[in-house]
Chains A and B, each alone.
Chain A
Amino acid sequence: MDDLCRLTISEIAGLLKKKEVKSTDILNSYVKRIKAEEPEISAYLYNDFEEAERNAEAADKIISSGSDYPALTGIPLSIKDIFLIKGKRTTCASKILDNFISPYDSTVVRKLKENNYVFLGKTNLDEFAMGSSTENSAYKITKNPYDLNRVPGGSSGGSAASVAADLCAGSFGTDTGGSVRQPAALCGVVGLKPTYGLISRYGIIAFSSSLDQAGILSKDVTDAAIMLEAVAGFDEKDQTTRKFNVKKYAEIVKKADKSILKGLNIGIPAEFFSDGLDPEINSKVSEIKILLKDLGANIIDISLPDTKYSVSTYYIIATSEASSNLERYDGIRYGYRYNENDGGAIQSLDDLYRKSREAGFGNEVKRRIILGTFALSAGYYDAYYKKASLVRKLIIKNYKDAFAKADIIIGPTSPTPAFLIGEKTADPLSMYLSDIYTISVNLAYLPGLSIPVGAVKNPTKTDGILPVGLQIISPWTTEDKLLSVAKIIEDEVKFREKIKK
């Protein structure tokens, strides 16, 4: 039964329903695999097998006592260490929250508990979700399961690696500028970032409030739909969620049929195929274009002319909001407080703040706090924050115009496959540019999904391969369409069947 951990959620759920296996059996398979593989991958910040055991036993009771139970009952999942789970440590991969125990549940976790999920552990991330490689964690560096010398992407790198290496059945991450889709692409799994406001942000540690959105990392599109359905919807604790009509995504995806591609207008933005794009990735995306055309879709050229501003706009808005969101880490109510044993006496309140924050935050976080504070400061607000807010509208306008012509947009998720650990750490700007295709989706509040569509040769590892992700972007609140198209591509590409790690 060792292969149980390789199954998808829908496959596991099928076995559980038929009572062919128990949730505890599934869990045992994961525990075994985690014990064997985790030391190499470092996807998790911690595992909690005791909790998992309790959850699995509870789920088994529910399953045995009836057939009408929620979709994630008995499914072992991992959670990015940015979601609060009551009574569990939540660090956001930062020293400043080193000893922080969550006093309440995030809405996503509350819903997962109501779904009788099995909690396997908290996954690694870039500190406060700031990064694209998971190298900015204060605790460890997560490795790409395809090549341990390479990054898994980020900031949900731990989540992506845990799914790719079969260390969980699925994982919840967050996506502020690509932090679910980019690591999904680099690790060869599905990554979904829904429309802003579809999933509650309550209890998710904020990086950039107007861009953050919970996201899903899964083994296939069907699983993404199941996981989305479990956690989506209006939350009275988050006023940026809306009373959307949450659809039956799992059922819709199940019924997705190639015929929907007939006459579907698929837009290809010219700006996503410019200089920085790896030629091999370019050709993988082109293969999909041809495939879709063969299935009856209209491939149309579109333009998102202001894409060139997206990285700049993103870094101003995200860092400005972050500089404010991170003011609560002041060493007073929780988190790290500088104490005199750490050297030097505290002279004043100002001293307490500055020394606690200085020692608690890592370099990338400080860099962004400084940038954001500057962008909002007197004399610079108009040129930076205000201007960026207007350019954001320009980018939204680009998409609005594009969706007047195209039903859906496709392009690469990341300009390159997984890069080497340390390759970009010395140059923050080059790291920022690795999110160039994903960032504008967050700026425009849109749903986006990355799906593995193939692999390229790993230049530094004999016989090694590196996965390539295709990004699909659809109009606001059309996750049903997004998932359906993704499912059809998945069925054609058969990435999971073809690629053996």
Chain B
Amino acid sequence: MHGNNDSFEAVIGLEVHSQLLTKTKMFCSCPNIFGMEPNTAVCPVCLALPGALPVINIEAVRLAVKAALALNININKKSLFARKNYFYPDLPKGYQISQYLDPVSSNGYLDIETEDSSKKNKINKRIRINRLHIEEDAGKLIHIGNRSYVDLNRAGTPLVEIVSEPDLSSAAEASAYLKSLREILVYLGVSDGNMEEGSFRCDANVSVRRKGDPELGTRAEIKNVNSFKFVEKAIEFEIERQIDLILNGGKVIQETRLYDSKENITRSMRGKEEAHDYRYFEEPDLPPLILSKEFINDVKNSITELPAEKRRRYVSEYKLTEYDAEVLTQDKEIADYFEDLIKENSNRIDIKKLANWVINELLSELKLKESEERMPLSAKNFLELITAVESGSINRNTGKIVLAEMLSSGKSALEIIKEKNLAQVSDDKGIEDIVKQVVNENQKEFADLIGGKDKLFGFFVGEIMKKTKGKANPKKANEILRKYIEENK
């Protein structure tokens, strides 16, 4: 950062495009799936054959309304689809059906956690959202040599576009906003939030101005940013570029810039810009989208607890630490799993302990295995294992081994414990027999122990564990050995 930067402030607005998790496309009944052979998920509508017509996917509308409600955005009872006209090979109709004129929802906000100017204290900041609207995605182009290859599988898949007001003032805030937004959409099952595959994409409008200046500076739009890390870097670079430009007597021009992650710079897209005039007008092939109160209420009722609320509840209701609550709620699947454990917890194991099992054992084991399946263990099976350890029927280390075995073989905890004969020897008679056996085999050492060589106590415990292949309950073994010593003194 340069010396004079402190006299500037950045003004950032984000436009997020997020694919919706529907079975079919926005306006036709083709599958909405990633990764099919090129041009196999296509039909007359998404190929834009002559005579084909769009028909609204009600599920896409439902998901959009769900997202909007979660983001505190007003649902507009009547909204319109419009055509945005431009020619490009990935846009077969020559227009994109979007909701430019009257969006399905407008005027909302998202609260994010950020730092104050001293960067020491966390504060909450409200980022206003201008609108959330429904639109369709374009196809894909692959450029090889001087030819381009058009694949229309993605053409017509449903998106929501979420446009923030320019309320963000740093790259870190932008990133916090984006993460929070993504978290909500994934939580609601609206989007898979995958930035790498492009199902969650972000364009950033960035401008700078001297602090206190009421006027907004000229903004540049940064496109093509496909990870959270890059969003932050791209915005940081762009802020610095604009400040440098102004300090050197230059002027920021309104343009679209592409982020180049290899060189960590943004680059002008000049030339592609000429004469954009999208000639928006109401889509005459579709009726206005009219949402009834009942429809909106149905969607409202389907919204489950959002991550921020969940975190608060975990701390207050389950008495978990902020950190534990954070880890458990990061992912809806993990949170759901954790709550399943609590629900099935008939042995009343301490919730804090359950949390530790998930965080310290299960998640780290899953990470180690890079498991494809997110939660391969049923809550019931996992509880069986936890109960076995917490009740002392196997020890903690054995528990870890059993867990690994459960994940790889799919067998239940009890099956594995039985099969491998891993259960601890906890009964007094069994351990007494072993103690006697060990004493018999080491009579000299035992005499020394009785004679006052206390250090040999550990030796005997070790021998007992060896004999039982670690299955003896160490606490029990200690107790019985001590008793035996007393008796033989």
**A–B contact (CB under 8 angstroms):** yes
Residues of A within 8 A of B (CB): 83-84, 90, 92, 97, 100, 103-104, 106, 201-206, 208-210, 236-240, 320-321, 323-324, 326-328, 330, 332-334, 349, 353, 373, 376-378, 381, 385, 389
Is B87 a contact of A327 with CB atoms below 8 Å?
A: yes
**Taking CB as reference atom, which chain B residue is nearest A320?**
B281
**Taking CB as reference atom, which chain B residue is nearest A202?**
B53
Q: Once the chains are docked, how many angstroms separate the CA of A239 from the CA of B51?
A: 13
Contacts of A238 in B (CB 8 A): 53, 55, 285
Is A385 a contact of B50 with CB atoms below 8 Å?
A: no
Q: Once the chains are docked, how many angstroms separate the CA of A100 from the CA of B282?
A: 29
Is A332 a contact of B53 with CB atoms below 8 Å?
A: no
**B133-152 vs A, Cβ < 8 Å mask (1 yes, 0 no):** 00000000000000000100
Is A84 a contact of B285 with CB atoms below 8 Å?
A: no
Contacts A324-B279, A324-B281 given: A90-B50 contact, CB under 8 Å? Answer: yes
**B272-287 vs A, Cβ < 8 Å mask (1 yes, 0 no):** 0000010111101111
Interface residues of A, dominant DSSP: loop
Is B85 a contact of A332 with CB atoms below 8 Å?
A: no
Q: Which of B50, B150, B280 contacts A205, CB < 8 Å?
A: B50
Contacts A240-B285, A320-B281 given: A103-B49 contact, CB under 8 Å? Answer: yes
Residues of B within 8 A of A (CB): 44, 47-56, 83, 85, 87, 89, 92-95, 150, 277, 279-282, 284-287
**Taking CB as reference atom, which chain A residue is nearest B27?**
A239
Contacts of B51 in A (CB 8 A): 83-84, 106, 201-206
Contacts of B85 in A (CB 8 A): 323-324, 327, 376
Interface residues of B, dominant DSSP: loop
Q: Which of B95, B150, B286 contacts A327, CB < 8 Å?
A: B95
Contacts of B52 in A (CB 8 A): 202-203
Q: Which of B47, B50, B150 contacts A92, CB < 8 Å?
A: B50
Contacts A210-B284, A239-B53, A239-B55 given: A328-B277 contact, CB under 8 Å? Answer: no
Best-buried of A210, A333, A378 by chain B (most CB within 10 Å): A333
Contacts of B93 in A (CB 8 A): 327-328
Q: Which of B53, B92, B279, B286 contacts A333, CB < 8 Å?
A: B92
Is A237 a contact of B53 with CB atoms below 8 Å?
A: yes
**Taking CB as reference atom, which chain A residue is nearest B274?**
A350
Q: How far is the CB of A215 from chain B (nearest CB, A)?
A: 16
Best-buried of B51, B279, B286 by chain A (most CB within 10 Å): B51
Q: How far is the CB of B139 from chain A (nearest CB, A)?
A: 10
Contacts A202-B52, A205-B51, A330-B94 given: A349-B89 contact, CB under 8 Å? Answer: yes
Return 16 A-B CB contacts under 8 Å, by A number. Answer: A100-B50, A106-B51, A202-B52, A203-B52, A206-B285, A209-B285, A239-B53, A239-B287, A240-B284, A321-B284, A324-B95, A327-B95, A328-B94, A376-B85, A376-B279, A381-B279
With A324-B95, A333-B49 known, 16 other A-B pairs at CB within 8 A are A92-B50, A106-B51, A201-B53, A203-B44, A205-B51, A210-B284, A236-B55, A237-B55, A239-B286, A240-B285, A321-B281, A324-B279, A328-B94, A330-B94, A332-B92, A385-B281
Contacts of B287 in A (CB 8 A): 239-240
Is B55 a contact of A324 with CB atoms below 8 Å?
A: no
Is B285 a contact of A377 with CB atoms below 8 Å?
A: no
Is A104 a contact of B44 with CB atoms below 8 Å?
A: yes
Q: How far is the CB of A213 from chain B (nearest CB, A)?
A: 12
Contacts of A206 in B (CB 8 A): 50-51, 285
Q: How far is the CB of B144 from chain A (nearest CB, A)?
A: 15
Q: Once the chains are docked, how many angstroms separate the CA of A333 from the CA of B44?
A: 11
Q: Once the chains are docked, how many angstroms separate the CA of A349 from the CA of B54?
A: 27
Is B83 a contact of A324 with CB atoms below 8 Å?
A: yes
Contacts A103-B49, A209-B285, A328-B93 given: A377-B55 contact, CB under 8 Å? Answer: no
Q: Once the chains are docked, how many angstroms separate the CA of A378 from the CA of B85?
A: 12
Q: How far is the CB of B94 from chain A (nearest CB, A)?
A: 2
Best-buried of A238, A323, A332, A381 by chain B (most CB within 10 Å): A332
Contacts of A324 in B (CB 8 A): 83, 85, 94-95, 279, 281
Q: How far is the CB of B102 from chain A (nearest CB, A)?
A: 14
Q: Once the chains are docked, how many angstroms separate the CA of A103 from the CA of B85?
A: 25
Q: Once the chains are docked, how many angstroms separate the CA of A227 from the CA of B331?
A: 59
Is A373 a contact of B55 with CB atoms below 8 Å?
A: no
Q: Which of A320, A323, A328, A349 contacts B92, CB < 8 Å?
A: A328
Is B95 a contact of A239 with CB atoms below 8 Å?
A: no
Closest 9 CB pairs of A and B: A327-B94, A376-B279, A209-B284, A210-B284, A203-B51, A205-B50, A328-B48, A378-B277, A239-B55
Q: How far is the CB of A343 from chain B (nearest CB, A)?
A: 21
**Taking CB as reference atom, which chain A residue is nearest B47?**
A333
Contacts of A321 in B (CB 8 A): 281, 284
Contacts of A385 in B (CB 8 A): 281
Best-buried of A92, A104, A237, A378 by chain B (most CB within 10 Å): A237
Q: Once the chains are docked, how many angstroms separate the CA of A385 from the CA of B279?
A: 10
Q: How far is the CB of B192 from chain A (nearest CB, A)?
A: 28
Q: Once the chains are docked, how many angstroms separate the CA of A102 from the CA of B439?
A: 94
Q: Once the chains are docked, how many angstroms separate the CA of A376 from the CA of B84?
A: 11
Is A333 a contact of B48 with CB atoms below 8 Å?
A: yes
Contacts of B87 in A (CB 8 A): 327, 330, 353
Is B286 a contact of A377 with CB atoms below 8 Å?
A: no
**Taking CB as reference atom, which chain A residue is nearest B89?**
A332
Q: How far is the CB of B136 from chain A (nearest CB, A)?
A: 14
Q: Once the chains are docked, how many angstroms separate the CA of A328 from the CA of B54?
A: 14
**Taking CB as reference atom, which chain A residue is nearest B283?**
A209
Q: Once the chains are docked, how many angstroms separate the CA of A84 from the CA of B50?
A: 8
Contacts of B94 in A (CB 8 A): 324, 326-328, 330
**Taking CB as reference atom, which chain B residue is nearest A349?**
B89
Q: Once the chains are docked, how many angstroms separate the CA of A337 from the CA of B53?
A: 24
Contacts of B279 in A (CB 8 A): 323-324, 373, 376-378, 381
Contacts A332-B89, A377-B279 given: A239-B44 contact, CB under 8 Å? Answer: no
**Taking CB as reference atom, which chain B residue is nearest A373?**
B279
Q: Once the chains are docked, how many angstroms separate the CA of A389 from the CA of B49?
A: 27
Q: How far is the CB of B27 from chain A (nearest CB, A)?
A: 9
Q: Once the chains are docked, how many angstroms separate the CA of A238 from the CA of B281?
A: 19
Contacts of B280 in A (CB 8 A): 376
Contacts of A237 in B (CB 8 A): 53, 55
Q: Once the chains are docked, how many angstroms separate the CA of A377 from the CA of B87?
A: 15
Q: How far is the CB of A107 from chain B (nearest CB, A)?
A: 9
**Taking CB as reference atom, which chain A residue is nearest B285?**
A209
**Taking CB as reference atom, which chain A residue is nearest B83?**
A324
